[in-house]
A and B are shown apart, each in its own frame.
Chain A
Amino acid sequence: MEKYIKGRVWRFSENVDIDQIIPAIYLVTGDRQELAKHAFENVRPDFAKEVSDGDIIVAGPNFGSGSSREHAPRALLGAGIRCVIAPSFARIFYRNSINIGLPLVECDVDAADGDVLAIDFADGKIVNTNTSAGYTFPSLPDFLVDLLDVGLIENTKRKLKRTG
């Protein structure tokens, strides 16, 4: 995982649920790029067209609530989103994101659409380059840092190798 990223903000409010991130009607594939075409289609039809690689989502509390669909973080990765920042996340979305390599940061950040944020994962710091406001966030437990880094697939392969 990259230790430092800089990206443009897509701002969302609180309680963004999985049905908003990827409407259930498109749940007939697990392909990231295919899912990305329909990300936020019902609530923000411009998102899929205008999102670019390296963008960041900043949202209110309880991001990713509802369904267990891993299709949601897959769609965000497919759209080029490199990090989601919110004061809190729904737990299955949180697990899914870490497992497939989408970094999440639990932090209450003040940012508007189009602002550019710089995130330093190693030091736990965020700067909004438009407002110069700075924020800090606690580091993840070592287990989750490793999982985010290698991914659940590699983590499972190692476990299978150990247990024979």
Chain B
Amino acid sequence: MTIAEKILAAHAGKESVSPKEIVDAKIDYVMVNDVTGLPAFEVFEEFDANPILEKTVLIQDHYVPNKDVASAEQAKSMREFARRYGIENHFDVGRGGVCHQIMIEEGFAAPGRLIVGADSHTCSYGALGALSTGIGSSEAASAMATGELWFKVPETQKFVVDGELGKYVMGKDIILHIIGDIGVSGSLYKSMEFYGSAIESLHLSDRITISNMAIEAGAKCGIIPPDEAVFDYLKNRVIGEYSPVYADADAEYEDTTEYDASEIVPLVATPHLPENVTPASEIDVQIDQAYLGSCTNGRIEDLRAAAAVLKGTGKSVHPDVRMIVVPASKSVFEQAMREGLIGIFMDADAYVSGPTCGACLGGYMGVLAEGERCVSSTNRNFIGRMGHPDSEVYLANPAVVAASAITGRITDPEDLLEG
């Protein structure tokens, strides 16, 4: 069996499962955020039940601090739900951050676990060897009450990336390269498993970026076999015990695709699909905003990569560009302060805020006007994703975001620093 099959079988109490089979499986955690929470809480009241406290996680991140009265009411509903049932895993403003970063930092995500979340980027925890996947609000409510959920066992595709990565190539470029190859529905309903020396050489943060964007290929999950990098990260962090799950030697994959890491360069996904990838060095696009943050690329390693470009050139953000930096969590922000990164950003005229998902989904804190273009370390460049329907989003890695912020045009950091 593949990793996804083994995790589903174990949680369904079965010896084995096969693709397309529908199983009821016990979940380890169910998470909702402030946007998907409200509809879940309304549905939950229909059940006349108590939530399973140790499995329920509530995280305020999309529209907090609140953008308007309606979002304030929505966030309030989460606080009230947490108080009414005594849910301790509730991360409010100033105590948490972007939900997936919190699920990982706080030790909920771990190898072999089955985790669901009412947010599509819940697939991020595949980087730690978990089967984690996005669900809707009603089924999040159902999972809170029953501790179970139905799953269709996915077929698994294997992706092998071998070789050495270039200096400014990050996890973002690997996953954009793959999505560019297979398309935005290339893994529809499926589990992606990632292997190869290039994947093994990545630190956990870059692996999280890869698993995070599995959904942009339509996948149910994107799993990387856990190794020492994961076990070390989890020491003194993980809640409870965990047992790593690996694929059997005779596991059946729907297909296997191999990539040469040395051929992957810093990429940009142009509007309006993540599959529209092109090398950053090959396009000439003027930008109005550069955004660094999100569950995809808002970790300390991402901030370091961007700060290194700013510091390396000694230049400030281009006068016609707004650069916005949003660390994904309180602890990322604190670490960035300790390392002097926040000072580097502010000295370069970037704007730095506390954690929120706001700008990534066009909610607030960086919404684009008509005709504006943004180079962004986020995950989606759909029509109107970050604001006006006639604005444009170019997805890129944090180093490309920083290099572009300096020049005012989409720029490969290599051309700026080594050219």
A97 to B188, CA, bound (A): 17
Contact A157 B38, beta carbon cutoff 8 Å: no
Contact B218 A90, beta carbon cutoff 8 Å: yes
Contact A160 B385, beta carbon cutoff 8 Å: no
Asked if B380 is at the interface of the complex by the 8 Å CB criterion, the answer is yes
* B residues lining the A interface (CB < 8 Å): 22, 35-36, 38-39, 42-43, 46-49, 62-63, 68, 70-71, 73-74, 117-120, 122, 134-139, 141-142, 145-146, 148, 150, 184-185, 188-189, 215, 218, 220, 273, 361-363, 380, 382-385, 389
Query: What's the nearest-Cβ distance from chain A to residue B70, in Å?
Result: 4
> Could you say which of A1-9, A13-21, A76-84, A122-130 contacts chain B?
A13-21
Asked if A163 is at the interface of the complex by the 8 Å CB criterion, the answer is yes
Asked if A68 is at the interface of the complex by the 8 Å CB criterion, the answer is yes
A42 to B363, CA, bound (A): 14
Residue of A nearest to B142 (CB): A156
Query: What's the nearest-Cβ distance from chain B to residue A7, in Å?
Result: 24
Supply 7 A–B pairs (Cβ within 8 Å), ascending by A.
A19-B382, A24-B362, A28-B68, A66-B382, A67-B361, A99-B138, A153-B46
Beyond A27-B62, A160-B47, is A19–B383 a contact (Cβ under 8 Å)?
yes
Please, which residues of chain B bring their CB within 8 A of the CB of A20? 382-384
Query: What's the nearest-Cβ distance from chain A to residue B290, in Å?
Result: 21
Contact A15 B184, beta carbon cutoff 8 Å: yes
A141 to B39, CA, bound (A): 27
Contact A92 B185, beta carbon cutoff 8 Å: no
Residue of A nearest to B32 (CB): A68
A3 to B117, CA, bound (A): 33
A71 to B137, CA, bound (A): 9
Contact A143 B150, beta carbon cutoff 8 Å: yes
Please, which residues of chain A bring their CB within 8 A of the CB of B363? 24-25, 27
Q: Other CB < 8 Å A-B pairs besides A144-B22, A155-B142, A160-B49, 8 of them?
A: A23-B362, A28-B63, A67-B119, A70-B118, A70-B137, A96-B138, A100-B138, A159-B148
A94 to B220, CA, bound (A): 12
Query: What's the nearest-Cβ distance from chain A to residue B391, in Å?
Result: 10
Please, which residues of chain A bring their CB within 8 A of the CB of B137? 30, 69-70
Asked if A11 is at the interface of the complex by the 8 Å CB criterion, the answer is no
Beyond A23-B384, A24-B362, is A65–B185 a contact (Cβ under 8 Å)?
yes
Please, which residues of chain A bring their CB within 8 A of the CB of B150? 143, 147
Contact A19 B220, beta carbon cutoff 8 Å: no
Q: Which of A132-150 contact B (CB under 8 A)?
A: 141, 143-144, 147
* A residues lining the B interface (CB < 8 Å): 15, 17, 19-20, 23-25, 27-30, 42-43, 61-62, 65-71, 74, 88, 90-92, 95-96, 99-100, 141, 143-144, 147, 152-153, 155-157, 159-160, 163
A19 to B62, CA, bound (A): 15
A65 to B48, CA, bound (A): 33
Please, which residues of chain A bring their CB within 8 A of the CB of B119? 67-68
A91 to B136, CA, bound (A): 10
Contact A25 B43, beta carbon cutoff 8 Å: no
Please, which residues of chain A bring their CB within 8 A of the CB of B63? 27-28
A159 to B148, CA, bound (A): 10
Contact B136 A95, beta carbon cutoff 8 Å: yes
A19 to B361, CA, bound (A): 8
Residue of A nearest to B220 (CB): A91
Please, which residues of chain B bring their CB within 8 A of the CB of A163? 146
Beyond A27-B62, A156-B145, is A19–B39 a contact (Cβ under 8 Å)?
no
A23 to B382, CA, bound (A): 11
Please, which residues of chain B bring their CB within 8 A of the CB of A70? 36, 39, 118, 136-138
Residue of B nearest to A93 (CB): B136
Contact B136 A99, beta carbon cutoff 8 Å: yes
Please, which residues of chain B bring their CB within 8 A of the CB of A92? 120, 134-136
Contact B389 A91, beta carbon cutoff 8 Å: no
Contact B142 A88, beta carbon cutoff 8 Å: no
Contact A42 B389, beta carbon cutoff 8 Å: yes
Query: What's the nearest-Cβ distance from chain B to residue A118, in Å?
Result: 28
Query: What's the nearest-Cβ distance from chain B to residue A121, in Å?
Result: 19
A147 to B151, CA, bound (A): 13
Query: What's the nearest-Cβ distance from chain B to residue A69, in Å?
Result: 7
A75 to B262, CA, bound (A): 46
Please, which residues of chain A bring their CB within 8 A of the CB of B48? 160
Contact B135 A30, beta carbon cutoff 8 Å: no
Query: What's the nearest-Cβ distance from chain B to residue A79, in Å?
Result: 17
Contact A28 B70, beta carbon cutoff 8 Å: yes
Query: What's the nearest-Cβ distance from chain A to residue B90, in Å?
Result: 19
Please, which residues of chain B bring their CB within 8 A of the CB of A61? 185
Residue of A nearest to B361 (CB): A24
Residue of A nearest to B119 (CB): A68
A153 to B22, CA, bound (A): 19
Partner of B120, one of A24, A29, A66: A66
Query: What's the nearest-Cβ distance from chain A to residue B222, in Å?
Result: 13
A109 to B98, CA, bound (A): 40
A100 to B139, CA, bound (A): 10
